Structure formats: C-alpha cells, structure tokens
C-alpha cells in the first residue's frame, strides 16, 4: 500500500515538495514515520494510549530532523475540527479505521474538510464485496455462505467490525467534495497468510505480484482490503 500511496503523491505534487500530512488513527505510526523520513511535515492522531506510547517511543529513536517534522496527538479522528483548522493539510490518511466506526460518513466529511484544495484523501478499508473470500479459501463453507449477505465480520483480533463497499464509498466521497480518483486492491494473494508467517525469500516477487494484482481487474475486486484515493475539489 505504501507504493500505491507514493504513486498518488508523486503524481499530484512536485518532487521535493514538503507536504502537510495528517494520519488519522495512525496506530504505532508506521506510515507517519515513513512519510516524515521522506521529508514531509506529519501529524499523527490516535486515541489508543498504548499505540500513542509505541509511536512516541519509535519517534524518539529517530534523528532530530525527523523528530522535528512529526508531532503526535492523542485524540479521536471524529474530532479533527477540534484540533485543526479546515484546509490545514495536503494529504490525509485514514487507514484501517473505518471498520471500527459504525457511522463513517460524519468522520469522512470531517476528514475532507481538513484538506486544502486539491488535497489527497487516502482510505484503507475492508472490502465488503469480498468478505466470503478468506473463509472460502480456508474451506469454511458455512462462514463463506454467511458472508455474502452482510457487511459485518470478525477480524483477526477477535473484534466484531464492519466492511465497506466500493460503490458506497464512491458515492460518499463524491458527496463530501473529495471524489474518487483511483482505487487499488490490497492483499489479493496474501490475506490467508498467518500473522506470524516468516518473510519469504522471494518477497520482492510476492510484492510485485500483489502490486500488479492490486491495480488490475478482476483481481483487485476480490482483495481483502481496498485503498481508495479521493481528491478535494
């Protein structure tokens, strides 16, 4: 997904431009730190205190220049208007968050308001059109049959969460003034891999296959996750 995000940033902004990035629900800060290392000014917003502590610990180990380019705020992504002025960011990330939000539209509208004109909104969501794939590939036929008619699923953490459909999010993004510009599939071939699986020796070939499938129909349509990129009008 990082490659997909970089593709969108490079295609939209001049090389070397320092962007203002907001990472909502940043978790332990993997993407936020990566973008800070690339020279961007990054703000991470996270409500889980454990994740905030982990992100701050990782940041503390970085060189001073990177530490100065990144700030971490403990807070809820639904309250961006409390922390920031409209139009404050060139790029807003919201990765792996919507599945935990029962009513995502107000959150998405708030994120769109944070974008400057022409700004990029990057979403990573569970693919509601492919919920039966993991169960089916694992031979769980009852689970696969049940997944066809629902947007709810249980994730690898054992939490009951929800998925989003491409058509619904496309309409939502248009309605909040950040229409969809590009979308990708993520984890087309690797969704059934165990969390503790070792990195294979041919990892570059694996990534090349995933990257190609993530932008190619019909493969991207059955990916476990969808990466959607909208642009503020």
The CA-based diameter of the chain, rounded to the nearest angstrom, is: 53
Q: Is residue 218 within 8 Å of residue 162, measured between CB atoms?
A: no
Give the mean pLDDT of 121-128: 98
14-46: b or e for each residue (b if 16 or more CB lie within 10 Å)? eeeeebbbbbbbbbbbebbbebbeeebbbbbbb
Which of 65, 62, 73, 66 is CA-nearest to residue 26? 73
Band of pLDDT at residue 12, cut at 50, 70 and 90: very high
Collect all residues with Cβ–Cβ distance below 8 Å to 12 and sequence separation of at least 6: 118, 120, 231
Which of 17, 5, 59 is CA-nearest to residue 41? 17
E strands in 127-159 = 152-154
Is the pTM higher than 0.85? The answer reads yes
Q: What is the pLDDT of residues 174-200, one digit of tens each?
A: 999 999 999 999 999 999 888 788 888
Give the mean pLDDT of 134-148: 94
State the pLDDT at residue 195: 79
Q: Is the pLDDT of residue 74 over 90?
A: yes
Give the mean pLDDT of 21-37: 97
Q: Is the pLDDT of residue 80 over 90?
A: yes
Output the average pLDDT for the chain: 96
Band of pLDDT at residue 230, cut at 50, 70 and 90: very high
**216 φ, ψ (degrees, to nearest 5):** -120, 130
Strand 152-154 to 160-162 pairing? antiparallel
Band of pLDDT at residue 124, cut at 50, 70 and 90: very high
State the pLDDT at residue 157: 87
Give the mean pLDDT of 14-33: 96
């Amino acid at each position: 997904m990082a490659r997909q995000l970089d593709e969108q940033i490079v295609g939209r902004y001049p090389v070397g431009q320092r962007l203002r990035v907001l990472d909502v629900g940043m978790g332990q800060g993997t993407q936020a730190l990566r973008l800070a290392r690339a020279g961007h000014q990054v703000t991470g917003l996270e409500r889980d205190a454990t994740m905030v502590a982990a992100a701050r610990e990782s940041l503390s180990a970085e060189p001073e220049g990177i530490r100065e380019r990144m700030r971490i705020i403990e807070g809820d992504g639904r309250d961006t208007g409390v922390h920031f002025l409209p139009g404050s960011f060139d790029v807003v990330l919201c990765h792996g968050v919507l599945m935990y939000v029962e009513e995502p539209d107000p959150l998405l509208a708030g994120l769109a308001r944070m974008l400057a004109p022409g700004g990029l909104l990057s979403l990573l969501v569970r693919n509601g059109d492919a919920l039966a794939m993991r169960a089916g590939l694992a031979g769980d036929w009852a689970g696969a049959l049940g997944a066809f008619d629902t947007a709810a699923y249980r994730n690898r953490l054992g939490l009951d969460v929800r998925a989003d459909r491409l058509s619904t999010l496309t309409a939502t993004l248009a309605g909040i003034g950040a229409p969809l510009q590009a979308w990708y599939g993520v984890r087309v071939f690797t969704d059934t891999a165990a969390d503790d699986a070792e990195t294979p020796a041919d990892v570059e070939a694996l990534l090349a296959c995933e990257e190609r499938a993530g932008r190619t129909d019909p493969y991207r349509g059955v990916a476990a996750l969808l990466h959607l990129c909208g642009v503020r009008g």
